[in-house]
Structure 1
Amino acid sequence: MSSNAVVSPRPRIVRRAVHGVLLLDKPLGLSSNDALQKVKRLFRAEKAGHTGTLDPLATGLLPLTFGAATKFSQVSLEADKGYLATIQLGVTTTTADGEGEVLQRCPVTADLPAIEAACAAFVGPISQLPPMYSALKHQGRALYELARQGVTVERTPRQVHIRSLTVMGWDAELAQLQLQVQCSKGTYVRTLAEDIGQRLGCGAHLAGLRRTASGPVKLEQAVTLAQIEALDEEARLGLLASPDALLAEWPSVELPDEEAGRFLSGMRRRVAAPDMAQVRVYGVRPRAFLGSGHVKAGELIADRLLSPPEIAAMLVQATARAPVA
């Protein structure tokens, strides 16, 4: 190429205001942030975020929030999670997953009843030591960055809650176990895999992980990158759920028009409702999500509010709902 050749600049993406929640089925090998940036470009969204990191080796449900929905990201971060985990018994690795170097191989003599008993011992509140290969920060750096440099730092055990562990499959020949895990936020499934292997006396590592749920939203509701790319730009808006999808397990309060306007201005409203720590709040005509709040001593008190332009934009988007082929 001639040194005088003119290189055309990449066309600038013109961003736009987009509001709502997209439930993405994150593919293998892509970081959560890479997935977010790809989807953000496809929607030309001004503002977007994700609600909890999935490792590149993990797949499955990754709720992405756009515009007004980012106000409620913390709800999904705090929510219980569901996973389908594939655990390889008899092999331990440096990273507690399939990417690391093998540390030890041991024969697996446990049968299914012994495996179920070992899993049952971890149901309930437990203490976990965060693994070095995690996104947890130490002095501003992710632990996995330090681990790749051979550095190990002291970590503080954390309390998590395993709601349930259900054996979904056991291949005795391959010594592979499939577990459905329901757990609190902050649970390290790779640490859980290691601990189960240790309890069985043969060691283990996490061979695969797929997130199936985050609070009230499920993997069955998610779409893939290919499905998003197959739609035109306006049809993509039809994939977005209202921000209240992340709050679906909360009780709701409805306000008539004049009360809704006052609530949106931040004023406390009298309601005939018992004390509630978390509520979804709606206007009646048209039915529109206004934000979140709590009820105390007969008063509805705002916590996070949408703006009138955000509410109007989401009502328009609601008319664009489109089925995914």
Structure 2
Amino acid sequence: MTMTDENGAPTEGAREAGGREFAPRPKKRDVHGWVVLDKPVGMTSTHAVSVVKRAFSAKKAGHAGTLDPLASGLLPIALGEATKTVPFVMDGRKAYQFTVAWGSQTDTDDTEGKVVATSEARPQEDAILALLPRFTGTIQQVPPKFSAIKIAGERAYDLARDGEEVTLEARPVEITSLRIVSHSPETTTFEAECGKGTYVRAIARDLGLALGCLGHVAHLRRTRVGPFAVDDAVSVETLREGAEAAATALRPVATALSLIPEIVIHRDAALRLKRGQSILLRGRDAPVEAQAVYTTCGGVLIATGSIEQGEFVPHRVFNL
């Protein structure tokens, strides 16, 4: 029988039936900031958030863009007030290194799916290089059937797993750069930089089809997300070393906003923003119009918002 105090909480040294002692759960606390996790292969994004949340005993956490279990690399995770800045990270550019295995196409466009077609052909490096300009700039891309895109309220991957026919429309995506890192007869490794909504698996699939040899992603690693790069990342093992090691991985909330302009304001203006009120920006160099900016006062993040006719309109106010 478990012993409890007058509030119903387990007492120190409480034991379960059978005499096994257990430790009380740590109290959840308010933690604000970003952790850039180097997610290992095999871990889901949801599990990764749980690992970070547990490491900090944080009340609130969320990630900035799903990374498939097959993939490794950067998964920025927001804690507390940092969750208000997630859209700025998700809208940022991303970079990947990925390897395409030639000679087969799968229904998931990666190694987790079943092979749906094969080819004996293998591409020459010159043929791939000649094709790359078609895959850079703003292009039309059909997302993989096994993706999180919704069709009539259902996720495409759920429909595909149930055996239903999934038809997705092509949509514009931006691929800033795509280059070859290494090449062999069976595989080619690429580096790509792209905008929001681009599927690397679709790049591999479409390259294989265009080359006439078919292909799918064999390895995938994300190396940049918005303002975060590999040098910012921390491993799961480090987070599990203890609270002190985890604390060194926590980055300020405003780190996510480093790619948009900052406006320094005085205390009275900060108090107005804290109440959700707009403020007039004064000074000869004050911007008149801007879609996304943030304000600070004494080095503390106050709000994100837009500038309309010289007035800062708060969209998100922070409690830091």
Q: Which residue is equivalent to 1:120?
A: 133
Deviations 1:229-278 (A, max 9, x none): 12x32442332111211111111110123332223222322223222211
Aligned partner (choices 57, 62, 69) of residue 49 of structure 1? 62
Residue 183 (str. 1) matches residue 194 (str. 2): yes
Q: Which residue is equivalent to 1:262?
A: 272
How far apart are 1:91 and its partner, in Å? Answer: 1.8
Q: Which residue is equivalent to 2:27?
A: 14
Q: Which residue is equivalent to 1:233?
A: 243
The range that moved more, 70-79 or 46-55, is 70-79
Contact 2:74-2:229 within 8 A present in 1 as well: yes
Q: Which residue is equivalent to 1:157?
A: 170
Counterpart CA distance in 1 for 2:101 and 2:311 is 53
For residue 50 of structure 2, give the secondary structure of its aligned residue in structure 1: helix
Counterpart CA distance in 2 for 1:85 and 1:177 is 8
For residue 56 of structure 1, give the secondary structure of its aligned residue in structure 2: coil
Q: Which residue is equivalent to 1:249?
A: 259
Aligned partner (choices 24, 38, 43) of residue 25 of structure 1? 38
Counterpart CA distance in 2 for 1:108 and 1:11 is 60
How far apart are 1:116 and its partner, in Å? Answer: 1.2
How far apart are 1:69 and its partner, in Å? Answer: 0.4
Give the 5 Å matches for 1:101-180.
Answer: 101-172=114-185, 175-180=186-191
Contact 2:65-2:75 within 8 A present in 1 as well: yes
Counterpart CA distance in 2 for 1:52 and 1:178 is 23
Counterpart CA distance in 1 for 2:37 and 2:149 is 23
Report the TM-score when normalising by structure 2. Answer: 0.87
RMSD: 1.9
Counterpart CA distance in 2 for 1:102 and 1:187 is 23
Counterpart CA distance in 1 for 2:36 and 2:255 is 10
Counterpart CA distance in 2 for 1:97 and 1:23 is 25
Q: Which residue is equivalent to 2:101?
A: 88
Report the TM-score when normalising by structure 1. Answer: 0.86
1:253 corresponds to which letter in structure 2? Answer: I
Gap regions ≥5 residues in structure 1: 311-325
For residue 293 of structure 2, give the secondary structure of its aligned residue in structure 1: strand
Give the number of aligned pairs.
Answer: 300
For residue 121 of structure 1, give the secondary structure of its aligned residue in structure 2: helix
1:266 corresponds to which letter in structure 2? Answer: G
Deviations 1:128-170 (A, max 9, x none): 2222212223455432233233222332322211111111111
The range that moved more, 241-250 or 9-18, is 9-18
Aligned partner (choices 297, 314, 318) of residue 283 of structure 1? 297
1:206 corresponds to which letter in structure 2? Answer: V
Residue 61 (str. 1) matches residue 61 (str. 2): no
For residue 101 of structure 2, give the secondary structure of its aligned residue in structure 1: strand
Counterpart CA distance in 1 for 2:302 and 2:261 is 14
Aligned partner (choices 197, 217, 224) of residue 206 of structure 1? 217
Residue 295 (str. 1) matches residue 295 (str. 2): no
Change (3 A) 1:110 1:155: closer
Counterpart CA distance in 1 for 2:29 and 2:258 is 27
Contact 2:238-2:245 within 8 A present in 1 as well: no
For residue 39 of structure 1, give the secondary structure of its aligned residue in structure 2: helix
How far apart are 1:121 and its partner, in Å? Answer: 0.7
